[in-house]
Structure 1
Amino acid sequence: VKSGNFMSYDFYIGTGATLLEITLSGAVSVYFERVLKGTTTPHTVWDRNIQLAVMSGITFVPISLAETRGKWIFANLGWVSMSVAFLGALGGILVALCVRYTDAVMKCLATCASIVLTTVLGAVWLGAPVDFVIGVGSTIV
């Protein structure tokens, strides 16, 4: 949103991307729940996470190596970046466990509650702005 114009191109792109992400997240959650609970093979949550990690590694390690051009792959990452990556991985494991032991609807409700709670606490404790765009984003989820 530029200069107070709420009908700018960026606003529409951001809103559309958020709606797409929410739709895909719900669909993937239901599919992931089906994979975890509906298969007859005795795969655990850990087995599935390792499978996903290997496929991600096969996809993204060559891309990362090509982008670093011979430098150490973690050369530009500080401790904050590594901590965020670790928390993201931990969040993925928590989501998988949540889906395994409850269901996809509870996972989506927990995600929505965390987004709204983060918005409210950020406004109260950190003085983060709560404007029209933040309100629309929280309402969408």
Structure 2
Amino acid sequence: MERSIEILTALSLGIFGLSHLLQPRVWVRFFIDLREKGEPGVFTVAFMHLPFGLFILAFHRVWTGIPLVVTLLGCAWTFKGTLYFCFPAIGLRGMGMVSLERLYFFRVGGVALILLGGVIGYSLLTSMPPFPLGR
């Protein structure tokens, strides 16, 4: 199960990272739209983080090596989702920093997500069992 969660995480990070890198303007508009909704918009962000974080924490208890990164992401996303649900003003404060003038932050974040997904993917590839050629 841990390996499946690592694959899911690596692919998700890669896709979200590529999207942040190629479509930062859309991401900025998305978060500005959520910010304009106020606290319900913050709940949307919490819904984006909490379920995946809890899923990782429930089924990925790896505390060594590169896979530890996946577990720590699960902890971080669970914390962020919980924080935003319980204290939406904190989420609004963070979303208040999003602007078209700071578009580059989404590109930088995209590169970071791609690299993180790549590290997890590399770990998966280098720890793959050999492919059986016959019986």
TM (norm. structure 2) is 0.36
Of the two, which has the highest radius of gyration? 1
Relative contact order (alpha carbons < 8 A, sep ≥ 6): 1 or 2 greater? 2
